[in-house]
Chain A
Amino acid sequence: MSEEDAPFAIDVAGITKSFDGRVVVDDIPMRVRRGEIFGFLGPNGSGKTTFLRMLCGLLRPDGGQGRCLGFDILGQPDDIKRRVGYMTQRFSFYEDLSIEENLDFIARVYGVPDRRGAVAAGLARLGMSSRRRQLAGTLSGGWKQRLALAACLLHAPELLLLDEPTAGVDPKARREFWDEIHGLAAGGLTVLITTHYMDEAERCHRLAYIAYGKLLAQGSVDEIVRQAGIFTWQVQGPRLAELATLLRKTPGVEQVAAFGDALHVSGSDRGALAAAIAPHRRDPHRWTEIEPGLEDAFIRLMRSSGTQ
């Protein structure tokens, strides 16, 4: 079948959606290769969740077309739903069912072959075999997230849509979660994940950044930084807060952000930036030109789109 040959798990263009006349997703194209971990970034309310919901048939796009796993996103939502695991931002399994009952329900709805075996395997992978009778509502945030992931994987989907899966999860659990995602992707699963964390974004193979419903950049971390077209200096030394206030008023400096005991000073015109910081390049401050980070790039992208 063509779905196996399609190099892209997601290949859509012109996706548009508005609610009550307000455009939430504006003409977004997206291509995600099979087996790729694709990060989807953007500020709150930028339309990420709406976009995910349109991919898996929960919302109908107002405009645009494309294919998800080789199926038409408008005409074949049922085929897509069967092959997609969608993990919602808010825990959306039954809190008054036990862990096992939730998994069993999902296995039934998706018609998973060897249901009992699949549920047992899911429980074992969760490391929850002994707690399987515990009600889902009594789980902590981290465990709920693991349960949700296990439930989404139960029907062996080809595409995983994760909507801010690590919000409110502690660093160790996040690390384990990402290890699992990478393991799954290595096994051929395509993962589309939304996040606000830069360290998570850097763990993705490729990224898309949207703001105000518009796609601002798409590509690998390096490509996105290059697209942003910024230059960054790092400065260390005493009384950085005062220096920051001063620099923000200086033409040529577009961003000043504190990173621990250092400031990142960025601008899109390399010469102007160098000229702007020149008066301050003396003791006790130590200046080094560094590779701009993803966060610097994103803030630049967001600002430039906002001023357009």
Chain B
Amino acid sequence: MTRPPLSFRRFAAIAVKEFVQMRRDRLTFAMMVGIPLIQLMIFGFAINTDPKYLPTAVVLRDRSPFARSIVEAMRNSEYFQIVGEVASEDEARRMLSLGEVQFVLNIPEDFSRHIARGERPAVLLEADATDPAATGNALAAVSEMATSALRHDLKGPLAQFASGPPPFDLRMHRKFNPERITQYNVVPGLMGVVLTMTMVIITALAMTRERERGTIEMLLATPARPTEVMLGKIVPYILVGYVQLLLILAAAIIIFQVPVEGDPLVLFGATFIFIIANLSVGLTFSTLATNQLQAVQMAFFFFLPSILLSGFMFPFRGMPLWAQWLGECLPLTHFLRAVRGVFLKGHGVSETMYFMWPVALFAVVAIVVGVKRYRQTLD
């Protein structure tokens, strides 16, 4: 018994049929072209692991030319963008904590006098080191800069200090993650990533599955209202989301020993808003997609920029402005800030809400779109 050889004709029949089906499903076809394009744009233009022009606030207690030279030298390094002078250290600390600035430079009182006396006064550079990758290069650059910053100012009698050790002592303070442990940044962020992935995909499939299996016809013939259907489909997954949250939280504490500076309850509250936002996106997708494949693709279409542009994988401030704006539109970006804030910065309710209100806004918009798109008839 010999089996007949493979038939090119039969193979071609299958291949041609696949192409015809591919062409029928316009959305899938668009995605096949669109996703590589988006990846090209993001990886090619948006991602930069050497972030520059990081926002820096300055607390100037001494207005001497020395102080100005140091600020100028930082600016010239291109790693720092001096966003302004801050009156008090408390204000500077608040800005650092909320992520409004990445660095705070403190120049103490009588700085120039101490320089003149050769006492090597201390200059404190505080960094938000939550993401060690975002600050690493800048801090490396600044220590080189310290030796040369005042070279032109040290003239006349001060020329003696121009050689030898730097005329001031630059102290760097990596706040929130002093040991520069990457896991401290990644593991809390993973909460947001995992929730985005599962919540959007699961709900995107929820409605599409009813349509694909034909059960939508039965469901629409019942007295169930759109809001009831949506809520009924969303709530079970909120619980699933919390199970995931607890799992990651437990792993973060037990396995990775990430410090939890803030109150986990605040985290649970923020997560609620975040889950709702993602579920609403998923539900909106599921009213747009005509089959489950499309629903998954749409979810992927949302997930890809979320993971790349949110600051989870790559430093947010390393991206060009357009990418940052895109990132600001994604719930994950804001949730990451909130989660890292609670974990590493000990944020409470007010700081967390400061990060989460855009997510709440996003959720409201997504719900409105989803409910509007939900058709109570088969039209």
Task: Determine whether the beta carbon of A110 is less than 8 Å from that of B222.
Answer: yes
Asked if B221 and A58 sit within 8 Å, CB to CB, the answer is yes
B220 within 8 A of A: yes
Count, chain B residues at interface, CB 8 A: 15
What is the bound-complex CA distance between A78 and B221, given in angstroms? 9
Beta-carbon contacts under 8 Å, A73-92 to B? 78, 81-82, 84, 86, 88, 90-92
Report the minimum CB–CB distance from B206 to chain A (whole Å).
13
Give complex CA distance A266, B314 in Å.
81
- A60 / chain B contacts, CB cutoff of 8 Å: 377, 379
Task: Classify the secondary structure of A's interface with B.
Answer: loop
A93–B379 Cα gap in the complex (Å)? Answer: 21
Which A-chain residue is minimally distant from B228 (CB atoms)? A109
Inter-chain CA distance A95–B220, complex, in Å, is 17
* Contact, CB under 8 Å: B217 / A58: yes
User: Closest residue to A50 on the B side, CB-wise?
Assistant: B378
Would you call A299 an interface residue if the criterion is a C-beta within 8 Å of the partner chain's C-beta atoms? no
Q: How far is the CB of B277 from chain A (nearest CB, A)?
A: 28
Flag whether A115 is at the interface (Cβ < 8 A).
Answer: no
Q: Chain A contacts of B378 at CB under 8 A?
A: 53, 58-59
Q: How far is the CB of A80 from chain B (nearest CB, A)?
A: 9
Contact-residue bracket for chain A:
20 to 34
- Is B157 part of the contact surface with A, judged by Cβ < 8 Å? no
Q: Which residues of B contact A135 (CB under 8 A)?
A: none
CB-defined contacts of B218 to chain A, threshold 8 Å: 86, 88, 92-93
Contact with A along B188-221 (1 / 0, CB 8 A): 0000000000000000000000000111111011
Tell me if A56 is interfacial: C-beta within 8 Å of chain B.
Answer: yes
Closest approach, in angstroms, between the C-beta of A241 and any C-beta of chain B? Answer: 37
- Cβ-based interface call for A142 (8 A): no
Confirm or deny: B224 has a beta carbon within 8 angstroms of a beta carbon on chain A.
yes
Q: Which of B215, B223, B225, B379 contacts A59 (CB 8 A)?
A: B379
**Distance in Å: Cβ of B215 to nearest Cβ of chain A:** 5
Interface residue ranges, B against A (CB under 8 Å): 213-218, 220-225, 377-379
Given A53-B378, A57-B220, A106-B222: 14 more A-B contacts, CB < 8 Å = A58-B217, A60-B379, A81-B223, A84-B221, A86-B221, A88-B221, A92-B217, A93-B215, A94-B215, A95-B213, A109-B224, A110-B222, A110-B223, A111-B223
17 CB-based A-B contacts, threshold 8 Å = A53-B217, A57-B221, A57-B377, A58-B217, A58-B378, A59-B377, A81-B221, A81-B222, A81-B223, A88-B218, A90-B214, A90-B217, A92-B213, A93-B218, A94-B213, A94-B215, A111-B223
